[in-house]
Each structure stands twice: as structure tokens, then as C-alpha cells.
A = this chain, B = another copy of it.
């Protein structure tokens, strides 16, 4: 099924990104997450859902965290950080928000496929998560043509969004180890009201 090909394309991207991760860069990110009074998370569309999935686990780890746009999110300050997820790094709402956060002294972490984007350039720290690149697209296009298929297997931001989610779940595993937290610790913070 095409379904299996699409899953394979996603898995390949995730594995490639995992192999290319820069350990120093990741450690710097972990340091910012753990040293911030509160980490503010944001993304638009499906990237916003990824931000929320990460926020939930950070809360389970007792790291202070807020999601931009939710009800109880307070003003950001100079001991906080903003982690913004944007494949293109050019989402206008995210750039405006990051500029406001920066002016108020918060540190900015950009998670993006384009380190040279507007968001990437203004960030204190950039985590590079490759999404669909031109070369990938061509390779896949040829493969699909051979099979008589012309549709995209992972349309729009799919590769970036899913790969970012899995990378951030890896970050949670790393934080658990670094902070000496067990699954039971997370479970005790997990909401019981649903």
C-alpha cells in the first residue's frame, strides 16, 4: 500500500535527522529548558499540536511551562524562554511573538528546517530539523514516477512536524535520565481529570 511507503518516508526522515543531531547543540537546548523559570511553547497549525504534546511532557517532568494562546498563560519575562516551532521559520505570527518575547529579555529557541530564516536568525539557539528538502523531493518523485504515482507521500509540513515530535519525545527521554525521573514520577503529575 501507498500507506506503507508514506510511513517509510517518514521513518527515513526521522532516522536521518537523529543521525545528524549535533550533541553540543542539543545539550545547550537542554540547559535552556532546565534553567528557564518557565518555557513558553508555540507553533501554528500542526506544529502547534507538536508544541502542546511536548508541553504536556515537560509539565509531567515538573518543568514550568506554558502554551502561547492558552487561557492561563501569563506575561513572559527575562528569566523565561520561548521555544517556537516553525518549519519555514517565516510564519508571521510566530515572528511577531518571538520579537516581543526577545524585547522582554526571554531567550528564543527556534525549531525549524531553515536556520537562515527570519525566526532562525533572531533565535539564541536553533535546532535544525530537516523536513522535505529539494533533493528528497526529486528522489521521491522519480521513485513515485517509476511506480506510476505522482502524489506526494508526505504533503505540506508532514515530515517536519512528525520528525520534530519524535525529536522532542527523545528530548523528554534525555531529560528524564538527566533529572533522574522515572515513569512513575511522570504518572503522578499526569492529569486525572479526563
Contact = CB atoms under 8 A, between A and B. Distances in A.
A25 to B, nearest CB: 11
Interface residues of A, number: 85
Given A154-B169, A169-B154, A70 B69 contact: no
Contact of A152 (B8, B44, B176): B176
Contact of A3 (B59, B92, B173, B190): B173
A165 B167 contact: no
Interface in A128-153: 149-153
Interface of A: 1-8, 10-11, 14-15, 18, 21, 23, 26, 40, 42, 44-46, 49-50, 52-53, 55-57, 59-60, 65-76, 82, 91-93, 96-97, 100-101, 104, 149-156, 158, 161-162, 165-167, 169-174, 176-177, 181-183, 186-194
